[in-house]
Amino acid sequence: MENSQKLAYQFQYLKEQRDMFSNQLELINASLSNLKNTKLTIENLKNIKADEEILVPIGGIINLHATIKNPEKLLIYVNQDVVIEKDLDGSIEFIEKIIERHEEQEKFIMTQLQTLELNLQGISQQFRRNAPPQV
Assess if residue 29 is contained within a domain.
yes
Q: How many domains does the chain have?
A: 1
Model pLDDT, residue 75: 93
22 sits in the region (left: phi over 0; alpha: psi -120 to 50; else beta) called alpha
Whether the pLDDT of residue 1 is over 60: the answer is no
Model pLDDT, residue 109: 97
Q: How confident is the model at residue 129 (pLDDT cuts 50, 70, 90)?
A: confident
**Dist CA 60 CA 62 (whole Å):** 6
What digits encode the pLDDT tens for the residues 56-114?
888 889 999 999 998 889 999 988 899 999 999 999 999 999 999 999 999 999 999 99
- C-beta neighbour count of 36 within 10 angstroms: 14
Count Cα neighbours of 37 within 13 Å in the Cβ-side half-sphere.
7
Which CATH number covers residue 89? Answer: 1.10.287.370
**Dist CA 35 CA 78 (whole Å):** 14
Assess if residue 51 is contained within a domain.
no
Assess if residue 58 is contained within a domain.
no
Q: What is the mean pLDDT of residues 18-41?
A: 95
Q: 3-class DSSP state for residue 20?
A: helix
Give, in order, the Cα–Cα distances in Å from 125 to each of 33, 82, 95: 37, 53, 45
What digits encode the pLDDT tens for the residues 113-128?
999 999 999 998 887 8
Instruction: Provide the domain limits for residue 88.
Output: 2-46+74-130
Assess if residue 121 is contained within a domain.
yes
